[in-house]
Chain A
Amino acid sequence: MLIRVRRFAHPIAPSEITPQSLYQARRDFLRAAGFAGIGLALPAWGVDKLAGVQKSSYSTSETPTPLINIASYNNYYEFGTRKDSPSENSGQFKTRPWTLRIEGLCAKPRSFAIEDLLKLAPLEERIYRMRCVEGWSMVIPWNGYPLATLLKQVEPLAGAKYVEFTTVADRATMPGLSFPVLDWPYTEGLRIDEAMHPLTLLTLGLYGEELLAQNGAPVRVVVPWKYGFKSAKSLVRIRLVDKQPATTWTKADPEAYGFYSNVNPEVDHPRWSQANERRLGEFLKRKTLMFNGYADQVAQLYAGMDLRKYF
């Protein structure tokens, strides 16, 4: 017991982060072992390494959560509601062919094949904190480029005030869709200035490889200053709209999940406190930071807004 406590109490120094060669070897081993006993479904294409990923000044220097945890502890209800459901039930999920349709209030609506999205702009590594509304957090090295880069391609019109994201809903390969837990397909939304913010990442990879199904493959959005559910996964459509879009969790429980859902230690969930969080791998809880620690970059987006009202 004591040994365990000590291990938790002394986090690994940044210099000891698992080198890529090591975790690559581990993944190869897992694949060779037929994933036995760990329930980790790594699709065949998951070996695709992303080339030329650049470092970014937006990255945190905190220790990234090990890939095994990022890939086995997920909320992705389309694959089931348990934390291990997405890694266990996503084996049939196909990410090729894949198109992302961008439409609505824009001059040049069009569809992008996933191959085009991967080549549209140089990929960056963005090591972001991820805070779940449930009170736990990770540090994740995502790969992608600003969503703004993509949105500019379709030339949004002045009337486009919001962006709506739609996640794929394929009953054949996503067994969780058979249960009416949420109103499928999953939709999320951002205000246009949030969507165009340089921190908002169109995400195609993780740890230098293409995304795994359970992490929202093949393309998702990551909004690091908001609770995790705002970062919609496996996108098939982005719509530019003039009104605030209806979003899945807000429809499910409007008292608990607001449209903004910015990480805010002072505004509690109706049923639990948001003041602290458990960083996976740590023994003691840590204080949750305003805007998940990204206040310097994003606080001005909400200047003058009552964040208790617009939670």
Chain B
Amino acid sequence: MLAVIRTLSSRQVFAIKALLFICCLLPCALYLWKFFQDALGANPIEAITHASGKWTLRFLLLTLAITPLRKLTGWHWLIRLRRMFGLFTFFYACLHATTYFWLDQFFDWHGIAKDILKRPFITVGFAAFVLLIPLAATSSNAMVRRLGGRRWQSLHRSVYAIGILAILHYWWLVKRDITAPFGYGLILVALLGARAWWREQERRRQLATPVERFQRTLKPIAPRSE
């Protein structure tokens, strides 16, 4: 079974992508439906704010999980899903930010500016949202080419910082029961930790390599015959 999904044809990957695309829209559809059914409880605006925020975080972690998953399983086609998940992160982040600007603050820009400057949890949340914008804007193949792989990659490494800011945003928002942000935080630590660990392994390997080569080229000194 595993061997079968190790390599997939383009068509198969496309089919998986199409299916996942629809799945990614389900949370949004569910909340829209609940909204019009009046099934969001006593405080629907709070329910929408929390749901859009949680789904942003979930998609962010899913995006960050692609590389480690690919390394662990050897399913290299997974990389072709990463951009879609990244863009869905941005989609839900936009919904979350819109809920705040519109439903929560009702476009009171003065109040919003004060909130961003004064409330640390809003400061970090807003920073995470702003940092997502250039990533979404440079997600197309054309932009990757224009920037060049190396520069594109260093820009997109800011997603690690975005992950940390997102967890802080959640952590500082809750009043007392930190179970949920702690759980999401653990996942982020694992995903970033895996990268750090692999990087360290790679560094050691590179350090070790020249020495080995050097040792291999050494010729044993022939004993002098007397």
Contacts and interface: CB of A to CB of B under 8 A. Distances in A.
B42 A73 contact: yes
Interface stretch (A116-124, A235-243, A270-278): A270-278
A136 B43 contact: yes
A136 B46 contact: yes
A45 B120 CA distance: 46
Interface in A238-264: 252-253
Contact of B43 (A4, A83, A268, A273): A83
A285 interface: yes
A179 to B, nearest CB: 7
Interface in B89-142: 103-104, 106, 114-115, 118-121
Contacts of A182: 176
A271 B119 contact: yes
A80 to B, nearest CB: 9
A9 to B, nearest CB: 11
B41 A72 contact: yes
B24 interface: no
A150 B121 CA distance: 44
Contact of A273 (B103, B115, B173): B115
B62 to A, nearest CB: 24
A280 interface: yes
Interface in A55-103: 65, 68-69, 72-73, 77, 81, 83-84
B106 A285 contact: yes
Given A73-B42, A280-B42, A181 B172 contact: no
A281 B45 CA distance: 10
Given A134-B175, A284-B106, A271 B42 contact: no
Chain A CB within 10 A, most for which of B45, B115, B175? B175
A253 B176 CA distance: 9
Given A136-B46, A284-B106, A84 B176 contact: no
B226 interface: no
B172 A271 contact: yes
Nearest to A68: B42
Contact of B42 (A72, A134, A284, A285): A72
A65 B42 CA distance: 10
B177 interface: yes
Contacts of B36: 4
Contacts of A272: 119, 121
A134 B114 CA distance: 18
A272 to B, nearest CB: 6
Nearest to A136: B43
A271 B176 contact: no
Given A134-B175, A181-B176, A271-B172, A83 B121 contact: no
A278 B119 contact: no
Contacts of B41: 69, 72-73, 83-84
Given A69-B42, A83-B41, A280-B43, A181 B119 contact: no
Interface in B158-184: 172-173, 175-177, 179
Nearest to A69: B42
A136 B106 CA distance: 16
B121 to A, nearest CB: 6
Contacts of A179: 177, 179
A284 B43 CA distance: 12
A181 B106 contact: no
Nearest to B178: A181
A281 B43 CA distance: 7
Chain A CB within 10 A, most for which of B46, B104, B114, B173? B46
A119 to B, nearest CB: 33
A273 B45 CA distance: 17
A266 to B, nearest CB: 14
Contacts of B175: 134
A283 B102 CA distance: 10
A81 B177 contact: yes
Interface in B168-214: 172-173, 175-177, 179
B106 A252 contact: no
Nearest to B39: A37
Contacts of B46: 136, 278
B171 to A, nearest CB: 11
14 contacts: A69-B41, A77-B176, A83-B41, A84-B41, A179-B179, A253-B176, A271-B172, A271-B173, A272-B121, A273-B119, A278-B45, A278-B46, A280-B42, A280-B43
CB-CB nearest 5 A-B residue pairs: A73-B42, A69-B42, A81-B177, A181-B177, A280-B42
Given A81-B176, A281-B42, A283-B103, 4 more contacts: A68-B42, A69-B42, A77-B177, A271-B173
